[in-house]
Every structure is written in C-alpha cells, then in structure tokens.
Copies of this chain bind each other. A is one copy, B any other.
Amino acid sequence: MPTIKDVAKHLGVSVSTVSRALNNHPDIKQDTKNEVLEAMKRINYTPNAVARSLISRKSNTIGLMIPDITDPFFSAMAHDVEEVLSDNGYQVVYVNTSRRLEKEKRFLTSVMERKMDGIIVTPDFLDEEALEIMRRLEIPVVFLRRRPPQDLDMPFVDVDHYEGACNAMDYLLSLGHSRIGFMGMPPYSFTGQERYRGYVDCLKKRGLEPDPSGIVWDGRTIACGYRAMGKLMEDYPSMTAVFAANDLLGIGALEWLAEHKLSVPERMSVIGFDNLEVSDLHWIKLTTVAQPRKEMGRKAAEVLLQMLTENKLTAQSILLPTKLIIRETCTSVIK
C-alpha cells in the first residue's frame, strides 16, 4: 500500500505538500495540488484513516448499542441512524447486547479504546462500573428508548410510552369498557412499566380500581400473549377488553380468542401497542398505538450530530408523540 511518502517521492515534493493537497489546505498552489492529486490516482494511493485518526483525535465512528437488531423496532432505528450518520461521513459500529450486562460493558470499553466520537445507546442493565465508564467517556452520548441515570446529564430520544398508553386506555374507556385487562412485558422492561403506568392512571382517573386478577406479566412474544389470554379469561372472565402492552402480545391474544371461538371485537376488544407491520394484515387488523420508529432513529442521530458539531456533551431530549391507529379489534361495550 502506497503511503503519503511514496506520493511525495514520486513527485519530488515534501510530504507536507502532499498532505496539504489531500486536505484542501489553502496554503498550496493550485497547480501543485493538481499534480499531487493526479499522482495519487496514478499510484493508487488511499489515505490511511487510522493514522489520520491518531493525529486528529477523531475516528469518525459512532457506536450504536442495541439489545437486538432482530427486533423490528431496533432494526428500523438502526436503519435510520446509519443513514443520517453515514451521510455525514461517519461509520457506525453496532453491537447487539442481547440484554446482557457483560456485553454492554464490553461495548463501552471498546468505545473508549477505539476512540469513537459518540454513541447512541439502549442499555438494559448499566451497573455502577458501566456508569463509571460512561462518565469518563467525554464524548456525546444519546440514550435511545431509555432514560439516562439521574446524575448523567445526557439527552434521550424516545416515544412517550405513558401518553401512548393513555391514548389506548382513553379510547377503550370512551367505548364504555370498564373491566379492562392488561398484559405486560417482563417487569424489568422500562417501556413496559411506562405503559403499565398509563393503564393504571387512566383507570384511576375515571374512578376505577385496577383489578389484580386482570393483570398478567409474562414475556413479549405471541406465545406469551396466547398464554396470557388464557390466564386472563380464567381469572377475570367478566373482562370485556384487554390492553396488550405490545402488538405481539395482542396478536397472541387474538389467536387464543380465535381458537376458542370468542369473537373479536364483539365479545372481546383488544388493543395493542407498537403498530407492527403484521398488525395491519388482513386477518388481524389490530387497533394499536403507533410509534414513529424510523423517526426515532433519525432524531437520535441528529441530536448526536448536533452535539458533535456544537462540541457539547448535552442536548435537549426528545419525546416523540404516538398515534392511535384504529382498526377492527375494538368496539363499544354491549349494553
């Protein structure tokens, strides 16, 4: 691989001159610059970004830490993050944590060592050691779908899960339902907690007390929703509607109901959260709450870019609005 030195020798100029041509430095004659550029082409010179990084202290790489790229949410966000970042000359290093603390820490360590310029993170388990690394990072950090810990003044970008849950609940309530079940994601899930908070608050706001037998916490998959629906029908048979904390759970519920010949929405209204592609399928048409996934990725990247150009370690957080998507799985309660 030819280096800047080879180019210089080839032309009988100094490396400084070659470097100046490479970097569009003003202090160089147009003619020499052209000659250098041509010589580079001729001998197939490619600048070594590693050497440049060492000196400039800029690696032009951004780290992206997500739980699971296989989750349509994160892949949608990863898509837009990459798009806006690469359009701005950055490359993105991505890591699936698989929701494992060990992997989160490995990522953060790598961020330090590799001198990444900034990161976008969706951590699940940051412990004290991980936080300590984050504090020492000295680069822009934006939290995606997670809140930064109290003592870290870092921005986040997320959807307003609480408000979204309230939209869903208010809709159900407006339809006359009062015995509404809830299917939650695993208890440690931040988004799950927020949606649950919306469920409880909306009920209370109307003077209704959430019935513990109408609440089930399981996983986040279709199979979980299926199981949960069975359990709810057993424990809370008077229920007329169910709020599933995500679409997958809602679809599992729909499946259980279809198999048990309980008509939707006549016998049971079902509302989800996420607006997955599948939810719009002809056979499903799940009423749900949509989140602007791609926009979330885009915004996260933009906030990071802004911090990078303004050379700041903090910025305004963004809470994006959700949108109720009314399809065919909810109806007013039969009087």
Q: Which residues of A contact B (CB under 8 A)?
A: 44, 46-51, 53-54, 59, 61, 68-70, 72, 75-76, 78-79, 82-83, 86, 91-96, 98, 103, 106, 109-110, 112-115, 136, 222, 251, 254-255, 258-259, 278, 281-284
Pairwise interchain contact B283-A113, C-beta atoms closer than 8 A: no
Chain B residues near A75 (CB-CB < 8 A): 69-70, 72, 75
* CB contact between A96 and one of B51, B61, B82, B283 (< 8 Å): that residue: B82
Which residues of the other chain, B, contact A259 by a CB distance below 8 angstroms? 282
A144 CB → nearest B CB, Å: 15
What are the residues of chain B within 8 A of A282 when measuring CB–CB? Answer: 254-255, 258-259
A254 to B282, CA, bound (A): 9
Q: Which residues on the B side are within 8 Å of A91 (C-beta)?
A: 93, 95, 110, 114
Shortest CB–CB separation between residue A228 and chain B, in angstroms? 16
Which residues of B are found within 8 Å of A72, using beta-carbon distances? 70, 72, 75
Instruction: Give the copy number.
Output: 2
* B49 adjacent to A114 (CB under 8 Å): yes
Q: Is the CB of B83 within 8 A of A79?
A: no
Closest B residue to A252 by beta carbon equals B282
**A69–B78 contact, CB under 8 A?**
yes
- Chain B residues with CB under 8 A of A110: 49, 91
Query: Chain B: which residue is nearest A276 at the CB level?
Result: B278
State whether B113 touches A46 (Cβ < 8 A): yes
Considering only CB atoms, which chain B residue lies closest to A133 in the complex?
A: B46
**What's the Cα separation between A72 and B91 when bound, in Å?**
22
